[in-house]
Copies of this chain bind each other. A is one copy, B any other.
Amino acid sequence: MAVTIRDVAEASGVHVSTVSRAFSAPHLVNPETRTRVLAIAEDLGYRPNRAARALTTGRTHNIGLIVADIANPFFPPLIKAAQAQARLRDYHVFVADTDEDPQVEEDLIQTLTKQVDGVLLCSPRLTNRTIERLREEVPFVVVNRRAKGLPTVLMDVGRGARLAVEHLTALGHRRIALVTGPSGSWTSKEMQEAAATMSDVDVVFLGPNPPTELGGLAAATDVIASGATGVLAYNDLVAIGLIEGLAERGKNVPGDVSVIGVDDIVPGRLSRPKLTTIAMPTAAAGRIAVDLLLQSVDSAATAAATMLETALIVRESTGKAHR
């Protein structure tokens, strides 16, 4: 016969609700009690029944995670970290991809709200007004974009852009191209604002561009035409594509042009030259976003913005200016 929550409660000498909390809200249970209950549950072979629990708690123990483009290697580390953190709290994560389409994004949110306890919106392309309206339906946490009145997790890409431009100017570059991302991207806007305030350097803006290798590949002619010797690209994919596009036009990186990416994805560590980049703390963002979301599910949301640090990682794609 299947082991029930009552069996575990009896064997542990605690109330059924304590066993339930040991699984669903372990932070609310005295650590010693929790350890004992979980050990006894394991000995007895007890596994909490999600469907039954959903009926009594009104919780699904699922969260939704909506991303703009699952094919962009920026997202998987964030998704992986969010999943691992959710699993620690006995939650499953369902991922949905919007194809960078605001209408699809809205449809997905409306479908998901019925099936999850909360939604992480990563790099949303929705208008603020739409986000404002949807938040009535389910707790949200927004990642990688400011959203008034909602908990948000941001990465300080503005500071990253300043570090990148300083690195290039220290190498003697006086004309720098910022290869921007999609219009509507918060990250792209932050980078532009930060770069526009830098002194001792000309910054030209080239874009908008698709946030992909092909976007970077296509931007190579504009970069050459701009006369820039240093480039900050919207992300590592764009940087990798750009380096390839420059090579096809006889330009060497970093001999002729220095290129810096953003994200620190694995392909940039293995490309030749290895990519100088602004590392984004995507895994930390995923973990923190899940913690904030589960807090919002348990109680009222704290509508604060959490800003995470970025860092410049110098590898081989940047060098001294020769002209």
Contacts and interface: CB of A to CB of B under 8 A. Distances in A.
Interface stretch (A9-17, A95-103, A187-195, A311-319): A95-103
A270 B237 CA distance: 10
A271 interface: yes
Interface string A93-129: 1111101000010011011101100000000000000
Contacts of A111: 50, 61-62, 92
A76 B83 contact: no
- Count of chain copies: 2
A70 B62 contact: no
Given A70-B70, A267-B267, A270-B241, A80 B97 contact: yes
Contacts of A64: 94
B76 A80 contact: no
A307 interface: no
A79 interface: yes
Interface of A: 50-51, 61-62, 64, 70-71, 73, 76-77, 79-80, 83-84, 87, 92-97, 99, 104, 107-108, 110-112, 114-115, 213, 240-241, 244, 266-267, 270-272
Given A80-B97, A83-B99, A271-B271, 20 more contacts: A50-B110, A50-B111, A64-B94, A70-B70, A70-B79, A71-B76, A71-B79, A71-B80, A79-B97, A80-B99, A92-B107, A92-B108, A93-B96, A94-B94, A94-B96, A94-B112, A213-B266, A241-B270, A244-B270, A271-B272
